[in-house]
Amino acid sequence: MELLKALSVRSQEQLLQRSFVPEAIATVASSPDGSFLAAGGVSGTLHLWELASGCLLHSWAAHYKSTTALLFVDGASLLISGSEDTLVNVWLLPEVLDPTLQASRPAFAPSTPLHTWSDHTLSVTALAAGAGGAAAVVASASLDQTIKLHRLSDGQLLRSVALPAAIHDLAIDAGEQLMFAACGDGVIYEVPLMPIATPNDFAHHEPGHSCYGALQGHSRPVTCVALASLSTSGSAFADVLVSGSEDGTVRVWDLQSRQPIQVLQASDKTAVTSVCVVRSSHRGDGAGAPTAKNGASASSSASSSGPWRLQPLAPLSKYAEMNGAQHSWRDPPIVVDGSVQFSSIVSGAL
């Protein structure tokens, strides 16, 4: 049974919603404004929901193998997908969702991507994009130990970076000057996106003429990285890097000294597979916005003295053109009172 669960880290009742989905899901991503949820299935099919209604807007065949990475770019107008089939596809969502184009295609017929990049030789593992919206630089990482940088506007390959180990995750800073790669040898490699002034600026290596620094401390493969700012001014520029590893630790690295300033470890040393940094909201008058216990900002419309309340979340529909709030996995109720034959009731309900 294929389920997708919505969880809350800000309430005692963590399970918000349980939805039955068309297939087993390998990866999910939400648009920056929280309007849409995209999910990549193990079959290579992409599914897109409207979160306010739970409506499944469209499902389309995007890859030949399981989807491994999803990324929204330029708000919710572009969706980028990576897969075990080594391909990276860029989807123009207004075109994918155009009902006139959908009507001319059979159900689940392949949509045409805006760009298809086939530069990797093994499974794509991570996607990241810089600023610039539709003109941004997109980085894709792979188990083939390379990072490919493409210009989103025309799809041109700008650069290829070779690293000593398989890459599991990527992060690009807001200024598009540095890129951090979480690798299978337990090292986080720091790749400059801008020209380096002197060779001594970084520890360097030259597979494919690439220079990079190395953040070492994890004893097992690094699985995830995320950039964060400790500034209370709400700056978008990061001053720390957070990394998780199969060694069961989460490390916080100072980007000035390149040294870990905090190490968190689970009591059972369970492998860390994902990290997400939630930034607190601060107002100009010095009064902090209502926050939950974990420091996540509450809705701006919440009262400063009232409790933080969850916004309604509709269950996701399993089939297209069906409202998720109708619980698409449930059949209509049938009441048998003996006045008519049971077979007639069943046939009438089908």
Supply the pLDDT for residue 54.
81
* Cβ–Cβ < 8 Å for 345, 337: no
| pLDDT at residue 9 in the model | 46
DSSP string covering 128-156: EE-SSGGG-EEEEEETTSEEEEEETTT--
Q: Beta strand 137-142 with 124-129: parallel, antiparallel or unpaired?
A: antiparallel
In sign, the C-alpha dihedral spanning 31, 32, 34, 35 is negative
CA distance 296 to 278: 6
Under CATH, what is the fold of the domain 163-277? Methylamine Dehydrogenase; Chain H (2.130.10)
What is the distance, to the nearest Å, from the Cα of residue 194 to the centroid of all Cα atoms in its chain? 26
pLDDT at 16: 55
Alpha helices (H) in the chain, listed in sequence order: 93-96, 99-103, 342-349
Predicted pLDDT at 117: 97
What is the structure's pLDDT at 224? 93
pLDDT score, position 202: 39
- ∠ CA 244-248-249, nearest 5°, is 55
Q: What is the mean pLDDT of each run of 10 residues along the chain (350 residues)?
A: 50 57 83 87 91 86 94 90 97 86 61 94 95 87 96 93 96 89 96 63 42 89 91 73 92 92 83 76 38 33 45 64 46 43 42
Residue with the two structure tokens 């499902």: 59
Predicted pLDDT at 313: 61
